[in-house]
Structure 1
Amino acid sequence: MIETQNIHVRLAQTEAVRDVTLRFEPGRLYGLVGPNGSGKTTLLRALAGLVAPSAGAVRIDDRALSSLSLSERSARIGYLPQARSISWDLTVHEIVQLGAQRFRDAEPRAAAALREVGLGDVAHRRVFSLSGGQTARVLLARLLATACPVLLLDEPLTALDPAWQRQVLGVLKAAAARGHVVIASLHDLGLAAAFCDDLCVMHDGSLAGFGRPETVFTPALLAEVFHLTGGFEVAGEGTRLHLGAHPLIP
């Protein structure tokens, strides 16, 4: 379990996150959504311990995150940033194995993570020869290989085609089902509504909504936060998010 308690995060002269209290439980996939500049990345970085709150606290399993050593933190929290850069032209397997280096069985763990993201057949290739989408999946596999209880992902669907966007969300949902806390920032509201167990909506640095997609994505919130018309509608035996074709430009 990881939680924030009334955290504020200031970046230079800007308060990027304001008075956010959240509790993330294992076994659930959380979607972090909001417009550009709403505080999603800053919140993820605070959860990862990469930026310190100017007020409030981040706690993991009832311990202050700031009290953990770097090794304790790295064993509990895995973080995938927006940047998809790899500095060394190692093989795919070698890059993924870096995520599992604290385990004695690092090689089979890396191989299993690569199979999970559909890259088992390119494990021998060097990463500089890969496409952008393949590189994104290599980095996802490296994150999965860490086996950290908390997995934080900043825009993990970037550079992926539509089929692999859905496949990756399925992989993240499976990780949550195995008992991880999985928190991913997403821009596609339809995919977030379809795959995530709960949504955290950020707006101007504050928490605008938290809970099940069908309770959070109200017409009023979609209009105020995203400048979109829409809402949930009955589709077959379930419901789906319907969004209007044109934005409500303020």
Structure 2
Amino acid sequence: MGMIDAAGITWRAGRATLLDDVCVEAGEGELVAIVGPNGAGKSSLLAVLAGDVRPDRGSVTIAGAALRGLRPAALARLRAVLPQKVTLAFPFTVAQVVEMGQYGRPYDERTQREVMDATEVAHLAHRAFPTLSGGEQARVSLARVLAQGAPVLLLDEPTAPLDLRHQEQVMGLVRQRARLGDTVVVVLHDLNLAAAYADRIVVMREGRVAADGAPGDVLDAGLLSEVYACPIEVRDNLVLPVRHCDFFPEVRLPLGGPSRTSSSAPAG
């Protein structure tokens, strides 16, 4: 059993089955990447692992404790969650947002300083959070999660709004946390980031686990081409789409404005 373990998770929303008999686990010191196309169930699975939603069937344990039996304060000590998008109704400063990660335990100035330095947001300390760019907000939110000090990190697309440098920085930070013994589960769209940093990759498709294993085993061209419904090549763990201009069917797009016809084109 891993530090976090989900068994037989099924979750339905109306007639839609978001997760169907999903089993995943992540151990101490392990970084697990969850990948898959849009609508595959990645964020739904992370929400179940976080305890934000209760599935129709199945169970989740963290450090051997059933998720359903944990009170919010106890849960917060065990896991920290970074959602896809963080919105705040009030203009808290960056320093205040990061400090929220230490809520419920004695404030530690050293922790505050270290996580802000690590995510390169210390120079933004007095800025109001809503005034930041999307990438800056993402890094501040990650600093808050790191400040929480929980042994399990659940991160939903932490690199999506970031530039190339900060994508590598963020993945390096969570890789380091795993090396120090934390359990990290991260939803990613970038398969190459998953290949570079993850110990294991879980591939989701239509609410089910299509593959689960080491990057070298899971990043198979045939499997990925089927899951993503487009031709993919894999070379030395580098995932590359096969860019055929004629792969997707031709679609006639409206040009907008006045009708453009050959008769209305200016004479050459």
| TM-score (structure 2 length as normaliser) | 0.86
Does 1:67 find its partner at 2:69?
yes
Q: In structure 2, what residue type is equivalent to 1:240?
A: L
Q: Superposition RMSD on alpha carbons, in Å?
A: 1.7
* Structure 1 pair 174–47 and aligned structure 2 pair: CA distance change class (3 A): same
Mapping of residues 1-250 of structure 1, within 5 Å: 1-234=3-236, 239-246=237-244
Q: Distance in 2 between matches of 1:18 and 1:110?
A: 40
Which ranges of structure 2 fall in alignment gaps of 5 or more residues? 250-268
Q: Distance in 2 between matches of 1:106 and 1:100?
A: 8
1:166 aligned counterpart, secondary structure: helix
Q: Distance in 1 between matches of 2:161 and 2:22?
A: 30
Q: In structure 2, what residue type is equivalent to 1:228?
A: C
2:258 aligns with none
**Bigger Rg, which one:** 2
Q: Distance in 1 between matches of 2:73 and 2:106?
A: 16
Q: Distance in 2 between matches of 1:162 and 1:34?
A: 21
2:252 aligns with none
Which string of whole-angstrom CA distances, capped at 9 and with x for unpartnered residues, describes residues 206-241 of structure 1?
00011111100112211110123334324xxxx533
Q: In structure 2, what residue type is equivalent to 1:210?
A: D
**Deviates further, 33-42 or 84-93:** 84-93
Which ranges of structure 1 fall in alignment gaps of 5 or more residues? none
**Deviates further, 100-109 or 51-60:** 100-109
Report how far residue 104 of structure 1 moved. Answer: 1.9
Q: Distance in 2 between matches of 1:212 and 1:120?
A: 36
Q: Distance in 1 between matches of 2:33 and 2:161?
A: 18
1:183 aligned counterpart, secondary structure: strand
1:15 aligned counterpart, secondary structure: strand
| TM-score (structure 1 length as normaliser) | 0.92
Which string of whole-angstrom CA distances, capped at 9 and with x for unpartnered residues, describes residues 103-152 of structure 1?
32333212211111011222122223321110110001000100111111
Report how far residue 246 of structure 1 moved. Answer: 4.2
Report how far residue 178 of structure 1 moved. Answer: 1.5
In the alignment, is the contact (CA less than 8 A) between 2:73 and 2:104 conserved in 1?
no
Q: Distance in 2 between matches of 1:181 and 1:104?
A: 23
In the alignment, is the contact (CA less than 8 A) between 1:31 and 1:185 conserved in 2?
yes
Q: Distance in 1 between matches of 2:244 and 2:83?
A: 30
Report how far residue 243 of structure 1 moved. Answer: 3.4
Aligned residues: 246
Identity %: 37
* Structure 1 pair 188–90 and aligned structure 2 pair: CA distance change class (3 A): same
Q: Distance in 1 between matches of 2:242 and 2:214?
A: 21
